[in-house]
Amino acid sequence: MSVLVITGTDTGVGKTVVSAAIAALAVEHGHRVAVLKPAQTGVGDDDPGDLDVVRAHAGQVTGRELRRYPDPLAPETAARRSGISPVTPAEVAEAAGDLEQSHDLVLIEGAGGLLVRFDERGGSLADVAWSLGALVVIVARAGLGTLNATALTAEVATRRGLNVAGVIIGAWPATPGVADVCNLTDLPTAAGAPLLGVLEDGIAGLEREAFLAAAGRGLSPWFGGKFDPELFAENLAAPM
């Protein structure tokens, strides 16, 4: 598990929080962690980005951002509009390989979904994962519509020869509806891979220690946490 690719079923599903949570637990267990953000969009030169969020919650991690584009668009489009050179899968893979030599865990956080284009040739996060032989973690929404998006992402990953490690719900609502609860069972089927975590909505606003505790509750032992999907579902069903 030296390199993990963190992708989403869409934008705004909680990829950065998931990256921060995985990194925080790994650091807590004494691992050297690096987080690679190939393309950060929608931020200015001096604005905080996703890596700043990860550092704030995980502490001592190495962060590397390859490109930063001001427009909140897909990386290829943002690169074209800004005149800044696009990032390529080969460049991302090279950076990940460099980081892997001096770190126990390298997390590569994509922008949007698995096939969002980095460059004019259609290079994407899927190409990065394939070239590195890295496991893919899918970050999904909790509610209605997530099953189709998750199944599409997993099917594309499988057809491209990628290995999906599992799916994580990036923001679990304080008051879940029936679709949210049912998806705890159905998401692993859609992904063809286990449910590896459910992170509470709003934990990005917590201080570091509280965030670490939430990460431990919400992530599988595979990441060093305590999350048990069956027990989580049982607790939701238990009478108050």
SS3 (DSSP) at 161: coil
Crossing angle of helices 229-237 and 178-191, in 10° steps, is 160
Distance CA 112, CA 49 (A): 15
Domain that holds residue 232: 3-237
* Low-confidence residues in the chain, pLDDT < 70: 1, 238-240
Query: Is the pTM for the entire model greater than 0.85?
Result: yes
Distance CA 191, CA 32 (A): 29
Active site residue: 37, 103, 117, 141, which one? 37
pLDDT of residue 240: 41
pLDDT of residue 222: 95
Contact status, residue 9 vs residue 113, Cβ threshold 8 Å: yes
Q: What is the domain count for the chain? A: 1
Q: What is the CATH number of the domain that holds 51?
A: 3.40.50.300
Render pLDDT for 14-67 as a digit per residue (tens, 0 to 9): 999 999 999 999 999 999 999 999 999 999 888 999 999 999 999 999 999 999
Contact status, residue 66 vs residue 119, Cβ threshold 8 Å: no
pLDDT of residue 102: 96
Q: Is 37 a catalytic residue?
A: yes
- The rounded percent of the chain whose pLDDT value lies above 70 is 98
